[in-house]
Chains A and B, each alone.
Chain A
């Protein structure tokens, strides 16, 4: 079984001080540390486990510049066999253009199964998987938290609301967006990354993928990014439980006019 897994290098923003850049439409990334998008880690682990069980190949694909190759080297260290980087050049692709570029790259690779993460930890749109499936004309299942591969189909579990699961049989080839928690991704050692750095990464320039201007036209245009202004109206209540409870009652009474 040949599997393609799409991965992304994203900034680690937990406890980072985010600031808006000079254009007003982006975030300053100079001081941010980049990591593999968490969801993609689970998708890669899923792919590698299927390969270990059933044979075949795993190819990791990312859209990004040379520094983003780290994410591919980690995939190779986890057990992927090959890696492809789509170089966007001067393009600044949104989710729609990203799907177009990835689709063009995936078409050049043999694929019985394409995996993505549910969303990426930077903008969290969560649409690239669905858009990519549409471009590749593949059946798509989102938020997959369980997967069993049969000969020409995948038995897919999807998390619904209220602790309910839905199980569906999807014919292969298909595209699945993998949810965190589907497995426990393995640890990638520095030695492993060093060994993986010997594997050559294929670079596909966006300009050579035969895409038209219409294909790459953004579906989303960011007008402005700003830090939400501090709102008023929060009050810290002091005192013991009885005092605080009485104060809460008084405040509620005031608000609803009791």
Chain B
């Protein structure tokens, strides 16, 4: 089920694909070289609704259309191509998208005109910095949204405390970390994506990084599946849910505080549908004492997007229903007290929705790390 279409937004993957199909067939039909046929072919197109440039920005690239399509066609891939063309043309790009990309180009993050602020998420926490002479096997890739957004920052602080508790030797790239380029690619800015990939790989080479763990399923996915073959040492990248799962299995973490909570898990699209990681975060939740996991109407491969993917975090799009509110309503009806997620975008979107839908008295939005920290009894996060 497409989250955008079901929220009555002016986008439907099915009609987008049908339109794209009709146009591509007409444009690339060998007969279109013959004038007489060409006119006929294009006359026939007048019955097909045109692909509007606004339409393509609604896709959250959540891949839900691919899951339900009997012939396995997803709209997100052709959407990416149309977005590329729109970015190259440049004249219809919305100011919000332009601003995010300009920011990324100048300041290596789509959020703030400052490279310096990237380290501020740590606050008073001491975080080993691999660029300041610390050597550690594991590099924690904090990511832009987790570094700059005040809500998402606590995800990173919680994860750092968990890693420290488990005795894992790790470090971050501190202020030198850059944007991995994912957002540039989702918005169709392929040139900028290439630049960010090259900057990231240069960092890996400079600091000898071969093992990474990310906050965001988006950084994780792009590094794992879309980065070009690395000319130097190959690297391994995992999402933090996988690392938590491993640490619990190894016994490096011993959650002992019974939380007495019913929770539901919101699958981030880029962790679930893109990388088929459905069980690791659930195993982590089940291992926490006193935590009962209930599922929403849409979960796993059938999960509903929070509405933050595909660059929609940075856009103000008109829609009658907020995608994140649809999702938070689903979470609320499970009777869970907490909706847990494992992605900074989902965390921000759902946190926002729980307030705008007036559900914040009944439902709390938490990152998986925040829940684990509580069960480990290693204190509350400073606010």
Q: Of the 9-residue stretches A107-115, A154-162, A185-193, A209-217, which lies at the interface with chain B?
A: A185-193
A74 to chain B, nearest CB (A): 11
Note all chain A residues with C-beta closer than 8 A to B95: 184
Cβ contact of B90, chosen from A14, A15, A16, A186, cutoff 8 A: A186
Interface size on A, residues (CB 8 A): 17
In the assembled complex, B367 has its CB within 8 A of some CB on chain A: no
Assembly CA distance A73 to B87 (angstroms): 17
Complex: A78 Cα to B93 Cα, angstroms = 13
- Assess whether B105 is interfacial by the CB under 8 Å rule: yes
Given contacts A184-B95, A186-B90, A189-B87, contact A35 B106 (CB under 8 A): yes
Known: A12-B113, A14-B113, A33-B106. A187 touches B98 (CB 8 A): yes
Contacts of B191 in A (CB 8 A): 189-194
Q: Does B114 sit within 8 A of A, measured CB to CB?
A: yes
Inter-chain CA distance A133–B89, complex, in Å, is: 33
Partner of A186, one of B93, B112, B113, B189: B93
- How far, in Å, is A216 (CB) from chain B's closest CB? 33
Mostly helix, strand, loop or mixed at chain B's interface?
helix
8 Å CB interface, B190-237 against A:
190-192, 194-195
Q: Is the CB of A12 within 8 A of B106?
A: yes
Q: Which residues of A sit under 8 angstroms from B190, Cβ to Cβ? A: 190-191
Give the CA-CA distance A194 to B95 in the complex, in Å.
Answer: 22
Q: A188 vs B192: C-alpha distance in the bound complex, in angstroms? A: 11
Nearest-Cβ distance from residue B105 to partner chain A, whole angstroms: 7
A188 CA / B101 CA spacing, docked (Å):
10
Which chain B residues border A15 with CB–CB below 8 Å?
112-114
Could you list 25 A-B pairs, sorted by A, with CB under 8 Å? A12-B106, A12-B113, A14-B113, A15-B112, A16-B113, A33-B106, A33-B107, A33-B113, A35-B102, A186-B93, A187-B90, A187-B93, A187-B97, A187-B101, A188-B90, A189-B88, A190-B189, A190-B190, A190-B192, A190-B195, A191-B88, A191-B191, A192-B88, A193-B191, A194-B191
Task: A33-B107, A190-B105 are known; give 15 further A-B pairs, CB within 8 A.
Answer: A15-B112, A15-B113, A33-B106, A186-B91, A186-B93, A187-B87, A188-B90, A189-B90, A189-B192, A190-B191, A190-B192, A191-B88, A191-B190, A191-B191, A194-B191
Partner-B contacts on A (CB < 8 A): 12, 14-16, 33, 35, 78, 184, 186-194
